[in-house]
Amino acid sequence: MIVILQQSDAMQGVEAFTKGTILPLFNLCAVQKRDLIILPFSNKPAQPLLFKNGTLEIEMFDQFLQHFLTGDAQIMPAIDKAIELFTQDNIGHQRDLMIITDNQFSDFHKLNQEVAAGKMQEFEIDLAVIAMSETAFEKQPISFADKVFFAND
């Protein structure tokens, strides 16, 4: 499972909420013996954090909790990096991708929804989005998501 977590300037007010959302995924991945990769991003993806079999490595997780990226959010490099990680097949055949975002991307105009949908289908990636606002999601939708949840609901 890969979690793409937006950490742009606009997300600073919900940092605790977004990082807390990831905690239950450790248990899920541990029970299922699946790797969990956290991929923070702002204008580019940060170094992916790999937690083998959902094992919560305290030092690495603490590093993640203490660090926050800044700048504008660009979704395309983060999606491309996640697809690259899936094609390396380091994390097994269950390909779940979660994007936690406010849907305010500076590169939204570059996002070709049909191409992205094709890649998700080609690699059998199940995509869920946790959007901070339904209004912002409607302005910049990720239409190829299999599931969408709104934090403000």
pLDDT score, position 153: 54
pTM value?
A: 0.91
pLDDT over 90 percentage in the chain: 65
Residue 128 confidence class, pLDDT cut points 50, 70, 90: very high
25-68 pLDDT per residue, tens = 999 999 999 999 999 999 999 999 999 999 989 999 998 888 88
Write out the H or E segment, with its range, that includes residue 93.
Answer: none
> Is the pLDDT reported for residue 90 higher than 80?
no
| Phi/psi of residue 23, nearest 5 degrees | -50, -45
Q: Give residue 111's pLDDT band: very low, low, confident or very high (50, 70, 90).
A: confident
Mean pLDDT of 93-99: 89
pLDDT the model gives residue 152: 73
Report how far residue 60's alpha carbon sits from residue 35's, in angstroms, rounded to the nearest whole number.
Answer: 14
pLDDT at 89: 63
